[in-house]
Amino acid sequence: MKTYLSAILLSVTPVLARAVEMPAETPPPPDADPTAIIGFVLIMVGMICGYVWYIWHKERQRKQDQP
């Protein structure tokens, strides 16, 4: 366990050093395309609704199958 912890710390150290060296003046991130955001939200909500429907349908089916 100690070797894994030390290996993780040694592998993260260069990343932290690089983050400290980064200049404070970084350019702002580019604007995201609204179409992509809307598409992502629609797909995400659709997947959540599909999952809820599937769980509800399976539970209903299980209750009907019980004697």
Is 8 among the domain residues? no
pLDDT at 3: 78
pLDDT at 66: 80
pLDDT digits (tens, 9 = 90+) for 11-56: 877 777 766 666 667 777 788 788 989 999 999 999 999 999 999 9
pTM exceeds 0.75 for this model? no
Is 27 among the domain residues? no
Is 6 among the domain residues? no
Amino acid identity, residue 26? T
Is 1 among the domain residues? no
Say which residue the tokens 């769980």 belong to.
55
pLDDT at 22: 64
Domain that holds residue 42: 34-67
Q: Which two tokens stand for residue 66?
A: 């019980």
Q: How many domains does the chain have?
A: 1
Is 65 among the domain residues? yes
Classify burial at 54, counting beta carbons within 10 Å of its beta carbon; exposed 0-12, middle 13-18, buried 19 or more.
exposed
